[in-house]
């Protein structure tokens, strides 16, 4: 599919890119004094890789004709470069987070890597002039696919994915005054301000 494949060092998504694409960021950054952030560099590499993937299709697909089906095919294609062991239903280690021995189950892209990749490509699509309404990376089919990958990997690997709790605002915590543990007053109102006699 992609000619002269090379895996990008430091790439969280393990995308295959051509040698020409590896040189593009260095050439583009030569005329500017501000280096790109790690996120921006990764986003550029991902965008170039996706563009190369579309060009290598038979027949080639232009970015303007790209739809969510091309994105889904791209995500499935990336599994061959994955590093996460996903146990099949017939595997004796199915559902075990730390299997005691190796098994022949396939390596795939981890759900988190795919989710981050889609986020970067979604942003890159709009930065390159695509409309948010027509963004193939934001399509419901992509979200459904990612949810299914997340759930199947959680079951196969025995690792439940928990939704991260939002951090509480420190100011809310500071404003709420709690009684001191050694306070001997019979004040039953936990939210009432404390008064100490000096």
Per residue of the chain (198 residues), give pLDDT as tens: 333 333 333 334 444 433 344 444 444 445 556 899 999 999 999 999 999 999 999 999 998 899 999 999 999 999 999 999 999 989 999 998 888 899 999 999 999 999 999 999 999 999 999 999 999 999 999 999 999 999 999 999 887 777 666 666 554 545 555 555 554 544 444 444 444 444
Quick one: which of 145, 151, 150, 152 has its CA closest to 73? 145
Measured distance CA(179)–CA(181) in Å, rounded: 6
Whether the CB-CB separation of 157 and 140 falls below 8 Å is answered with no
Ordered DSSP codes for 83-124: -EE---TTSTTTT-SS-SS---PPEE--HHHHHHHHHHHHHH
Following DSSP, what letter does each residue of 153-165 receive, concatenated?
Answer: HHHHHT----PPP
Paired with 6 in beta bridges are 17
């Amino acid at each position: 599919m992609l000619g002269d494949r090379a895996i990008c060092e430091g790439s969280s998504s393990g995308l295959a890119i051509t040698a020409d694409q590896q040189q593009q960021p260095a050439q583009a950054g030569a005329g500017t004094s501000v280096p790109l952030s790690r996120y921006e560099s990764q986003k550029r590499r991902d965008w170039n890789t996706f563009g190369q993937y579309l060009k290598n299709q038979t027949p080639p697909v232009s970015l303007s004709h790209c739809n969510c089906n091309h994105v889904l095919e791209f995500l499935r294609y990336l599994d061959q470069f994955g590093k996460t062991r996903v146990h099949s239903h017939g595997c004796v280690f199915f559902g075990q987070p730390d299997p005691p021995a190796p098994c022949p189950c396939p390596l795939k892209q981890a759900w988190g890597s795919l989710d981050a990749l889609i986020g970067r490509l979604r942003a890159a699509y709009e930065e390159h002039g695509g409309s948010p309404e027509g963004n193939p990376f934001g399509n419901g089919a992509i979200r459904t696919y990612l949810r299914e990958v997340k759930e199947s990997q959680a079951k196969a690997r025995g690792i439940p994915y928990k939704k991260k709790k939002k951090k509480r605002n420190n100011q809310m915590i500071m404003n709420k005054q709690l009684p001191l543990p050694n306070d001997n007053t019979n004040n039953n109102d936990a939210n009432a301000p404390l008064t100490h006699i000096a």
